[in-house]
Amino acid sequence: MCRKTYRRQAGIPSISSILRMKLCRRASELAGFRGTVGFVPTMGALHAGHLSLVGECRRACDTAVVSIFVNPTQFNDPKDLENYPRTEEADLKLLEAAGVDFVFAPTVEEIYPEPDTRVFDFGGLDRVMEGEHRPGHFNGVGQVVSRLFDIVKPDKAFFGEKDFQQLAIIRHMVRGLSLPIEIVGCPIVRDTDGLARSSRNLLLTPEHRRAAPRIYEVLSDAAVSLRGKVPVAEAKRLIAERIDANPLLETEYIEIASAETLQPASEWGRAAGDLRCFAAVRAGTVRLIDNVAI
């Protein structure tokens, strides 16, 4: 893409205008740019998980674009939206060091000049797990991601498997809208103690941060000690019981579901990895999600 279209005097090019982003994309096409454009949509508060997506994007594509936008339509809890960490200045420094070509950081008014009333059909992928516990969340994700895809027009877009259900839903949406975009899923990045990297980790108290790795410890152990040895329903009960044994953690749900359809499983699959175990757990006021192949 055309880096000459817009650049700050120092640091990484940061674009807040949709028109400018589209003009930059168009200018690159007119200039004969034929390389691949990779895109990593984020809500900011960047961490090693995001940077791993950026790294995959840079390795696979000629130009790397990252968006920073806290999308209000995917929050079903106003307090969650209000408390979501925002660290844009630090984010820009991280992205510059990571070699990103452009950052698209629009305002809410820029993305939603009028209320977005679109309702998406995700083929039932949004009716379980996060969709059941966070009504409207995935429709908001569909609204913003489809909007960003239309603005950036990437060849490839990169998403982490920590939000495994979101990844499946975005793939479904791209197929349904016949968008010429390859959706690339990237492995979960974890801290050395196993906790999945998440922007929400910044909100954990020291005590809850010390307790939170128990989630992954229990999930990963279940893949070895429970799969095929007890019924699926009993495995889910035992996983929740083991997490909740820590008084600082409270399980919201445990689900064992098809890795392909996300439909809850009633029995173990034929091969390891054809199912995934999903967890949503509250650590104080912070809601954490994780998943493992099982």
**Domain range list for the chain:** 22-186, 199-293
Give the Cβ contact number of residue 259 at 10 Å. Answer: 16
Q: What is the rounded average pLDDT of the residues 199-209?
A: 98
Q: What is the pLDDT of residues 62-71, one digit of tens each?
A: 999 999 999 9
The confidence score (pLDDT) of residue 2 equals 53
22-186 matches 199-293 in fold: no
Q: What is the pLDDT of residues 77-110, one digit of tens each?
A: 999 999 999 999 999 999 999 999 999 999 999 9
Q: Which residues contact 180 (CB under 8 A, 6 or more apart)?
A: 155
Give the Cβ contact number of residue 59 at 10 Å. Answer: 9
To the nearest whole number, what is the mean pLDDT of the chain?
Answer: 94
The confidence score (pLDDT) of residue 34 equals 77
Does the annotation list 60 as a binding residue? no
Task: Indicate the pLDDT class of residue 4, thresholds 50, 70 and 90.
Answer: very low
Domain boundaries 199-293, CATH class: alpha beta
Q: What is the pLDDT of residues 206-255, one digit of tens each?
A: 999 999 999 999 999 998 999 999 999 999 999 999 999 999 999 999 99
> What's the token pair of residue 99?
């070699």
Instruction: Give CATH for domain 22-186.
Output: 3.40.50.620
Give CA angle at 136 (133, 141), nearest 5°. Answer: 110
- Neighbour-count burial for 219-252, b at 16+ CB within 10 Å, e otherwise: bbebbeebbeeeebeebbebbbebbeebebbebe
Q: Report the C-alpha gap between 25 and 183 in whole angstroms.
A: 20
Model pTM score: 0.93
Does the annotation list 208 as a binding residue? no
H or E segment to which residue 111 belongs: helix 108-111
160 touches 154 (CB < 8 A):
no
HEC string of 143-165 equals: HHHHHHHHHHCCCEEEEEHHHHH
Does the annotation list 191 as a binding residue? no
For residue 130, pLDDT beyond 80: yes
Q: Report the C-alpha gap between 111 and 114 in whole angstroms.
A: 9
Catalytic (active site) residue 50: yes
Give the Cβ contact number of residue 29 at 10 Å. Answer: 12
Task: Indicate the pLDDT class of residue 29, thresholds 50, 70 and 90.
Answer: confident
For residue 1, pLDDT beyond 90: no
Does the annotation list 93 as a binding residue? no
